[in-house]
Structure 1
Amino acid sequence: MPPRPNFYLERPKPGKPTAISLHFNWSGAQLRMSTKEYVLPEHWDKKTHRIKEKFTDINPDYIEVNRVLDELAMFVTNTYNKFRRERKLVELTPEVLKRYLVAYRQGRTDGQPAEPVLDYYRRYMEDRLRSSLKASTTDSEMVSLNLFERFAATLPGELHFEQVTLRLFERYRDWFWNNTDTGDSTIHKHLKRFRQMCSHAAASGQDMGCDVNAIKLASQLRLSPAAKETIALYTEELQALHQLDLSSKPHLEKVRDLFVFFCHIGLRFNRWKEVGPDNFTVKDGTYYLDIYTQKGKAKRVIIPLDPMAVEIGKKYGFKPPNITGQVFNRQIKEVCLLAGFTEEIRQVKQIKGRSEILSTPKYQLVSTHTARRSFATSAYEAGLPVRDIMALTGHSQEKTLMRYIREDPRRNAERIAKHNRFNK
């Protein structure tokens, strides 16, 4: 007797609409697949594997549900018989049958889903590139696509959306762990972008192997979104940098001046090149930087300049030299080495789901974004109220600002030790 597809309820609970799944067993293989139809458990007939007829009058939509089940059952049977007649049952794997079913539900007759995952991802990114997103955003998203292409090349055959499950995310994570030196926080970003693309595909009508939005990158995949602990330079270190004689190395002098200047301004690196003489005003002898933020909702930020920032600004006519981020990051490390910033910094980094303590010379950790952290940290150490610092950095949430404040544990302990609580 040829196998027959049946329908069962998935984890039924009385009084709650329950998903109906298709079950089909043949030649030692089996397929379990959601029909995307629902019914109240008490309206289900376990013998006929359909909704009881007496309830179709109460809920006319039940007539359509039963019709869909009948058509799915007929399609599965016809597909099985086709492979049987052609003596190709060995080729009818659960994955192949599922692919035929997905294509059938999409109104296709060629047995293929509308679009493979990689093709959709590329088209999705083409649309993103044509949108009004910033270049820095699309550049980082293109990196994620390129990494996924490398991962997909290791998979057997073409990847389709019905294969997108928690297990696929686990395999993608494992690929990073086994083939790259990428930290968990960066892997978290790449998988988050892949999940966003899958969510877009699901909203566009693609059939997923699971609810991708239910996949928890932190708890289920053990990928912490927390990046490796970062550093800031403190007031005395900025003073040492400013006083460092680099007259014999003019290219490093420019990098040093640019870095120290923006440690006193606090702008993100991608805004540095926008600063010019028109952004500066003077009132009662005090210089101010007047600029609008770009990240999130634009808002006006006015930042007073201290004497060191004014001195550097005048040196360059308040038009900072333009240096690429890659060159800057390489040369500022050289400057900080010359300044003697060789203290070993211990940092916690999440690697393969575990916390590891790394030790690195401080000069190697200095980069463009250190300037913004140094600005926030020095303002905090100077005793400025958090709301005032937020007004200068453009942050709208205190918790976001606090990520930029990098008070060394020893300095923090020394500051606390001066409190009356420890001096009675």
Structure 2
Amino acid sequence: MASIKYLLRNKSTTNETSISLKVLLPEKKDLVYSTGLKVAPRNWDFKNQKVRSKVEVEAVKAIINHKLTKIYSFVDEAYLKLQVANKLTKENLKYELDVYFNKVTEEKKIETFYEYVDVLIENSKKRVAKVTWQTYSRTLELIKDFDKSENYKIDFKSINIDFYFSFVEYLEDVEEMSPNTIGKQIKNLKMFMNSANEDGITDLMGHKHKHFKVLKEDSFQIYLNEDELLELSKLEYELDSVEDRVRDLFLMGAYTGQRVSDWRKLNENNISVYDGVSCFKLTQTKTNNEVIIPIHPVIQSIFDKRGGVAPKFVNEQDVNLKLKKIAEKAKIKDKVSEKENIPKYDLVSTHTARRSFCTNAYKNGMDTLAIMQLSGHKTEKSFLTYIKIGKEEFAKRIANHKFFKSE
């Protein structure tokens, strides 16, 4: 408990004098602070530290004593709080009192990643060009979009190499950004984290990982080929268990080319028949484009086993966690050299489904513009960057073209 005492500035005066409080602090660095209240010494009870019960001060006695009691309680609590936090100094206690008496505005304590970056961007407006702080704002906006889309729960601790791979994949897949543009976002993110380290906000260093780097060329993201998708479909799970639904939802994405934000729309209510062909008809969330997608036999079997209805949706964060275990069970375990020889199953995510559709459809000779119309890609350049076709696979695709056939 703090040692607190009230003092009168001038004990000998016949007029009112200021009431100050004195707090004993370690190393004799005591704090004396004016309460802003006044009383004549003759009306002050020095022993009981309050205004006396006298007719002369009857109108103000209760008010002053009540205020003094509140001040005493506040100082005692502030003293204890600072002591527990090992921050008990004359300066810190004075600051607490300044805030209490509205002499200064209390600085909002920065605790979260988003709070810190908001302040960082606001402060940067005073020292960098407008175009620069606007890029910071855009990066923060993209991180928030990613957080909402993936239910990632961003904080300083979550900014690590796993986040990096997921965020880069999101920017490439959902935002359809080029490597250079993605690199700018990563550069800004690293600046946010470095600044937070320097300002003592966090000592976490996930962004210092050697592979948490600014992209300057195409990143490498996996897709599942048709054989691997078949192995997934063969896995046996209890009907409508979480694993069963996650596997089936992923396959539906892999055979329609739709973003995960549209998987909920792949249901029996959005099926129409055109010339005897059953198709999904839906409006894509991101592009607002209407698409009509023929229902693949694998998807039809998913509906059939449930009596003609789609599997119930699963929280996306849970989907990504389950997918890796499901892919591992399907023995999709080739080492991915471009990703530090990480097993392929450990890189499977919801985004892998759309990439698998685009790549497999392209390999099978489907027209590029037709694939783009279904997948929602805006430009052929972004589409060709997106699909994962090696030079040998590309050669196989065009080998059957009439140009290469002798007459």
TM norm structure 2: 0.49
Larger C-alpha radius of gyration, 1 or 2? 2
